[in-house]
């Protein structure tokens, strides 16, 4: 039997060696996993009177973790998606434990068998092309900050990037020679190259020249930065977007959702590509999704939008109930003649 501190020793190795060195996960992903175990220890302290320094692995069985996930929903009022995210972190840990401490194999297999809690089908919110144009027209072109913000919003939309991907963009990631492209670093440090449309490439080129970022010594400089020349944060970019969305909402009432976030522009780009006839596989690669099933939410949203449009276009007072084929003598005769 392992020592009474087996859980602490395994958890330390997991976070100090396995996740950063073997899995090469990003700092943000590791922090998310860490938060899961901080919450688990808080649950144990408040609900089970655990002392973290005396906690053993065999105390954390499937029943315990099911109670922990229920506690997240009922006591901390977390949503189902957050519950499933915490379960994913737990399953990753116990999958590793199964190899490192095989004497706990039965316990880990029971934990790995825990099912996700079903969530309602997400509704994709996005901006119409007209609303997107209204938003991009808001930054003032006669000020340096306005030109920066216009370039930022255009790049965020044109590349369909996650906000953190834009935060991390450095000058070296931009290629303006034809064909213009931007290299993004996404989840799991995966890199992808996305094209820049001509108008966006022109904006970026003028912006880099204005701020002298086109010089070789600035290759590692963040593209978008604050007055201290530090990279804009996710919250800073969100603030900029919401400021211009509030202005655009006055000019285009009813075209903007109540909540506007950088991810809304990513959704908008994906929907506009889909509506333009672009294949889902290309959209998957463009967005950096690991599985096309993730990208299919846009196809479902587009199909639902078309269904609602057709329903709203139905002429009132006309009975559109389908009749039986057997009652359609012309159709029956036509079918009977087939193959003669």
Q: Phi and psi (nearest 5°) for 271? A: -70, -40
pLDDT of amino acid 338 = 47
Q: Phi and psi (nearest 5°) for 121? A: -60, 125
What's the domain range around 256? 129-311
pLDDT of amino acid 275 = 85
Total count of domains within the chain = 2
Whole-angstrom distance, CA of residue 19 vs CA of residue 78: 25
Per annotation, catalytic residue among 83, 147, 150, 162: 162
Is residue 14 flagged as an active site residue? no
Beta-carbon count within 10 A of 86 CB: 22
pLDDT of amino acid 224 = 96
Helix 280-287 vs helix 262-275: crossing angle, to nearest 10: 160
Beta-carbon count within 10 A of 239 CB: 11
Closest CA to 149 of 212, 250, 236: 236
Whether residue 104 sits in one domain with residue 134: no
Residue-wise pLDDT tens for the chain (340 aa)?
Answer: 444 468 888 999 999 999 988 888 878 888 889 999 999 999 999 999 888 878 889 899 999 999 999 999 999 999 998 999 999 999 999 999 999 989 999 999 999 999 988 876 667 788 989 999 999 999 998 999 999 999 999 999 999 999 999 999 999 999 999 899 999 998 777 888 989 999 999 999 999 999 999 999 999 999 999 989 999 999 999 999 999 999 999 888 888 888 899 999 999 998 888 888 888 888 888 888 877 666 676 666 655 555 554 444 444 443 444 444 444 455 455 555 544 5
Whether residue 98 sits in one domain with residue 237: no
Q: For the domain that residue 160 is a member of, what is the CATH number?
A: 1.10.443.10
Contacts 24+ apart (CB under 8 A), 327-334: none
Whether residue 56 sits in one domain with residue 139: no
Whether residue 82 sits in one domain with residue 209: no
pLDDT of amino acid 159 = 92
Beta-carbon count within 10 A of 194 CB: 18
**Residue 280 in domain:** yes
pLDDT of amino acid 166 = 95
Per annotation, catalytic residue among 34, 170, 187, 255: 187
Whether residue 134 sits in one domain with residue 71: no
CA angle 150, 155, 160 (to 5 degrees): 135
Whether residue 166 sits in one domain with residue 300: yes
Whether residue 146 sits in one domain with residue 69: no
Per annotation, catalytic residue among 14, 157, 244, 298: 298
Per annotation, catalytic residue among 267, 269, 272, 289: 289
**Residue 80 in domain:** yes
**Residue 338 in domain:** no
**Residue 124 in domain:** no
Is residue 298 flagged as an active site residue? yes
CA angle 245, 248, 254 (to 5 degrees): 95
Is residue 289 flagged as an active site residue? yes
Whether residue 28 sits in one domain with residue 158: no
- Half-sphere exposure in the Cβ direction for 244 (13 Å, CA): 27
DSSP string, 86-104: HHHHHHHHHHHHHHH-GGG
* Alpha carbon 157 to chain centroid, angstroms: 14
Is residue 38 flagged as an active site residue? no
Whether residue 103 sits in one domain with residue 227: no
**Residue 316 in domain:** no
Is residue 162 flagged as an active site residue? yes
**Residue 336 in domain:** no
**Residue 153 in domain:** yes
């Amino acid at each position: 039997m392992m020592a009474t501190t087996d859980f602490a020793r395994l958890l330390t190795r997991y976070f100090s060696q396995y996740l950063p060195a073997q899995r090469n996960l990003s700092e943000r992903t590791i922090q998310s996993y860490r938060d899961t175990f901080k919450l688990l220890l808080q649950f144990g302290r408040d609900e089970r009177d655990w002392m973290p320094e005396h906690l053993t692995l065999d105390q954390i069985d499937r029943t315990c973790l099911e109670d922990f996930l229920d506690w997240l929903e009922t006591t901390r009022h977390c949503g189902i998606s957050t519950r499933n995210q915490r379960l994913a972190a737990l399953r990753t840990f116990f999958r590793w434990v199964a190899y490192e401490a095989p004497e706990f194999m039965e316990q880990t297999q029971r934990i790995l068998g825990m099912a996700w809690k079903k969530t309602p089908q997400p509704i994709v919110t996005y901006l119409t092309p007209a609303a997107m144009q209204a938003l991009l027209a808001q930054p003032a072109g006669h000020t340096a900050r306005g030109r920066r913000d216009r370039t930022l919003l255009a790049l965020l939309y044109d590349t369909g990037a996650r906000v953190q991907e834009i935060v991390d963009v450095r000058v070296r990631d931009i290629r303006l020679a034809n064909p213009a492209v931007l290299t993004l670093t996404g989840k799991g440090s995966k890199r992808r190259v996305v094209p820049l449309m001509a108008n966006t490439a022109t904006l970026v080129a003028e912006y880099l020249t204005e701020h002298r970022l086109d010089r070789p010594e600035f290759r590692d400089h963040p593209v978008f930065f604050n007055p201290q020349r530090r990279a804009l944060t996710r919250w800073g970019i969100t603030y900029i977007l919401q400021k211009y969305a509030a202005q655009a909402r006055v000019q285009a009432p009813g075209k903007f959702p109540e909540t506007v976030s950088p991810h809304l522009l990513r959704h908008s780009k994906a929907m506009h590509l889909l509506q333009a006839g672009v294949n889902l596989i290309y959209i998957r690669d463009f967005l950096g999704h690991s599985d096309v099933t993730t990208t299919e939410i846009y196809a479902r949203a587009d199909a639902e939008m078309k269904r609602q449009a057709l329903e709203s276009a139905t002429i009132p007072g006309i009975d559109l109930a389908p009749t039986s084929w057997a009652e359609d003598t012309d159709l029956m005769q036509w079918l009977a003649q087939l193959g003669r």
